[in-house]
Chain A
Amino acid sequence: MPTPYGPKADAGPPGLAAKLLGFCEELRGEGVAIGTSEILDAFTALELVEWTSRDDFREALAATIAKSQDDRRVFELLFERYFFRAAEGEAVQREITERGEGGESGEGGERIDMDELRDQIRDAIAEGDEDRLRDLARLAIAAFGRGEGSGVVGVDVQRIRRTLGLTAGTQPPADDGQERPPIDRSQLTGFERHLRRELERDLIERTETLPPSRPLAELDRALPTSPTQDLAAVHRAVSQMKRRLATLGHEQRGHRKAAAVDVRRTMRASLETGGVPLRLKYKPKRPRRPEIYVLCDVSTSVTSASVFFLSVLHALHDSFRKLRSFVFIERISEVTDVFEHERDFAAVAQKISSEGGVADVSGYTDYGRVWMEFLTEISDELDPRSTVIVLGDARTNGREPHAEIFAQVAERAGRLFWLNPEPKLYWNYGDSVMAAYERYCDGTFECWTTRHLENFVNVVAGGVAVAE
């Protein structure tokens, strides 16, 4: 309710402090760990920078709050959204609108010249003038009439862009014959972002409500369900795992029984006993780097998982020096070289499918044959120090599973783990023969989310399994 004395009072606690706390709270909700000391730092830092510069404000906040690349990514996404919403929400609450009653007709009355507008936008894009682009975006929206849109912001953005005739690529020369620099995709997206933002602002002003805020998509947690899905998501998950692998080795150090005498520390300790080395000090032992053999099923029944598994292999190769990898369908084929020489994941995947030579005729997995081939090819090198990891669904398509040969593999290897891309519920249904193999494994894991994967990594690196 507007009062005669001015805008109505705020509902929430006023001021920047409350807004910042709200922002931090939202970041925490997205899984960014922010301590109270960090919030205090943020406030101190903000006292030192000019608030009029949006970039300084944002950087100062980011430097004190977002402490990793992942956090920074979330921060960027939320910063835009939160402060935009905060400002708009405040405006709605205080019933501030940008144009008064009837102000609109005066502006909209004169026709805006479409060609002129288009040229100006092109110039602004070329110069990279963000403020001007924003103004032009509003002008463009005004030109197409507010309220006439479909009501769906995304649709309107594209409609306006199409009507303006803006496309990426080389641009026609200006009227005075001057050459224009080409517009690339990202510049155009920049303009669309402005359009979207202004349309949203309009929508909020019209409806006087904010759309509900949604949590960010949880890309990191779920695995892709089809190979066409975003590979980047898999890679992000795997890179997290890679870091964890690197850290896990370190955690082990110093906890084990030691062997070699550390002369320096022994001498140092001998001081307490007048220079007589009564107590020996030992050097901490290096953690053991396991020798790993990975066998990966790449048949059609695990298509969706193979992309994921291949990228896991890819990541493992970066983390473990002694790693040999194999892919199999009907036959087995070593692909260690491919991974070592090819850094690009897409190229690896392609090379494996074209040169792997793993499918003979049918393209159905033949586990029995795979064990036999693996055993003859590699058995001499398997020893108690080696770990074998099988990535597969244990679906034999009705063929002989040859569990006894699998048992031989398990016997020679120090540890044998099985990662199954199917939920445990489906194991041993249909042609899945998981039970036949399971008793020879040191551990079987269902593995269809990164969480499962992390759990498994913990076990391999010697840690304790985290509770589900």
Chain B
Amino acid sequence: MAEGSVADVKAALAEVGYLADEPAALVSYLAQELGKPVLVEGPAGVGKTELAKALSRSTGRELVRLQCYEGLDEAKAMYEWNYRKQLLRIQAGGEAGWEDVQEDIFSSDFLLTRPLMQAIASPEPVVLLIDEIDKTDQEFEAMLLELLSDFQITIPELGQVAATTMPIVVLTSNDSRELTEALKRRCLYLWLDYPGLEREMEIVRLHVPELPEQLTRRLVEVIEMVRALDLKKPPSIAESIDWARTLLLMGAEDIDRETFNQSMSIIIKHRTDIDLVAERVGVKLADPLRAQG
């Protein structure tokens, strides 16, 4: 993607199948221009991870992904010394003096790179996705700070490894806990929410163009109705697309109560939610038998 304006970024994202809204496009643009990481927050399933993937596709950069989880430490995220190889080197060394061996075993040959190191060391610019940062603990967040502000990693035995090319960094969070101020200060902030009716229609139509427009509108309306309920897990955008595909396969012509009950499991993934949705939304849909009679 050529350097350009916000509109260019938006168009480039749309080209690879991601319809960004104004704030998302603007922040993506700023992230590239300012070389700052972006912190994307929002409910599950609004396309936070997808934004990073789309950025990688639209810029033609490789995507380096670090999936965060409880207990993730620097050995798995940044780098680790290949101790087996180091042991071998020590044992095979034989005559060489300790000084030489020590210098040797702490060189980059014995370093196992993990996603963060990989992103920094890559000769080509990459998109680095740090997914679900809120799942890790605060120590890990603190460790990221050096990377996020200076794009470098300090290895005590080797010194600093600085990025040769500026990666685009995207952090996503489901807002399950408050991130530290220090981390936030280094990032641009983007809040993604469920799209409005029109935009979600566009998204669904982009992915499932075969579904008739009338039916797509109906589908998005029902999805909105479902999201308005207080569910354990409201349907994500990906699930609306899945549902659209299902309806297409079923050859449905309208979303009536029967079709809805049959295919509801595509968008609702909790037993208690299913009861609630059937009770609140199912009854609002037309009864196929009565409609015929």
Contact = CB atoms under 8 A, between A and B. Distances in A.
Task: Report whether chain A binds chain B.
Answer: yes
A180 B26 CA distance: 35
6 contacts: A45-B30, A68-B184, A243-B178, A247-B138, A247-B177, A250-B138
Given A59-B23, A343-B231, A67 B189 contact: yes
A45 B34 contact: yes
B41 A56 contact: no
Contacts of B90: 274-275
A378 interface: no
Contact of A69 (B41, B71, B105, B188): B41
Given A246-B177, A247-B177, A341 B187 contact: no
A48 B185 contact: no
A55 interface: yes
Given A33-B181, A45-B30, A59 B189 contact: no
Contacts of A243: 175-178
B252 interface: no
B191 interface: yes
Interface stretch (A34-42, A153-161, A219-227, A420-428): A34-42
B138 A67 contact: no
- Most B-side CB within 10 Å, residue of A59, A243, A268, A344: A59
Given A63-B26, A243-B178, A343-B231, A268 B33 contact: no
Contact of B26 (A56, A72, A268, A341): A56
Contacts of A59: 22-23, 26-27
Interface stretch (B80-88, B204-212, B235-243): B80-88
A267 interface: yes
Interface string B245-266: 0000000000000000000000
A142 B175 CA distance: 48
A69 B185 contact: no
A204 interface: no
B177 A35 contact: no
Contacts of B83: 267-268, 270-271
Contacts of A50: 5
A396 interface: no
Contacts of B191: 69, 72
A176 B5 CA distance: 44
Tell me the interface secondary structure of chain A in the complex. Answer: helix
Contacts of A56: 6, 22, 26
Interface string A437-464: 0000000000000000000000000000
Contacts of A48: 29-30, 33-34
| Interface pairs A-B: 7 shortest CB-CB | A246-B177, A67-B184, A343-B230, A67-B189, A247-B177, A63-B188, A344-B230
B137 A254 contact: yes
A402 interface: no
A69 B175 contact: yes
A104 interface: no
Interface of B: 5-6, 22-23, 26-27, 29-30, 33-34, 36, 39, 41, 71, 75, 80-81, 83, 86-87, 90, 105, 137-139, 175-178, 181, 184-191, 229-232, 272, 276
Contact of A264 (B33, B75, B184, B188): B75
Contacts of B178: 68, 243-244, 247
Contacts of A45: 30, 34, 188
B30 to A, nearest CB: 5
Contacts of B36: 41
Given A268-B81, A271-B81, A67 B75 contact: no
Contacts of B5: 50
Contacts of B190: 63
B185 A49 contact: no
Interface of A: 33, 35, 37-38, 41, 44-45, 48-50, 55-56, 59-60, 62-64, 66-69, 72, 243-244, 246-247, 250-251, 253-254, 264-265, 267-268, 270-271, 274-275, 284, 341, 343-344
A72 B27 CA distance: 15
Nearest to A249: B177
Nearest to A71: B189
Contact of B86 (A244, A271, A284, A341): A271
A187 B14 CA distance: 30
Given A41-B188, A72-B189, A253-B137, 15 more contacts: A37-B186, A49-B6, A59-B23, A60-B30, A63-B189, A67-B39, A67-B184, A68-B178, A243-B177, A246-B176, A267-B83, A271-B81, A271-B87, A271-B105, A341-B272
A72 B80 CA distance: 39
A67 B231 CA distance: 26
Contacts of A265: 75
Contact of A68 (B26, B105, B189, B230): B189
A165 B34 CA distance: 51
A38 B232 CA distance: 36
Nearest to B24: A59
Contacts of A33: 181
Nearest to A251: B138
A147 to B, nearest CB: 40
Contacts of B26: 49, 56, 59-60, 63
- Most A-side CB within 10 Å, residue of B83, B86, B231: B83
A38 B185 contact: yes
Nearest to A48: B33
A55 B184 contact: no
B38 to A, nearest CB: 8
Nearest to B22: A55
- Most A-side CB within 10 Å, residue of B5, B188, B231: B188
A68 B137 CA distance: 19
A44 B229 CA distance: 41
Contact of A62 (B105, B176, B189, B231): B189
A66 B176 contact: no
Contacts of B86: 271
Contacts of A55: 22
A66 B81 contact: no
B177 A250 contact: yes
A424 B274 CA distance: 46
Nearest to B135: A250
Contacts of B186: 37
A256 to B, nearest CB: 13
B185 A67 contact: yes
Contacts of A343: 230-232, 272, 276
Contacts of B39: 67
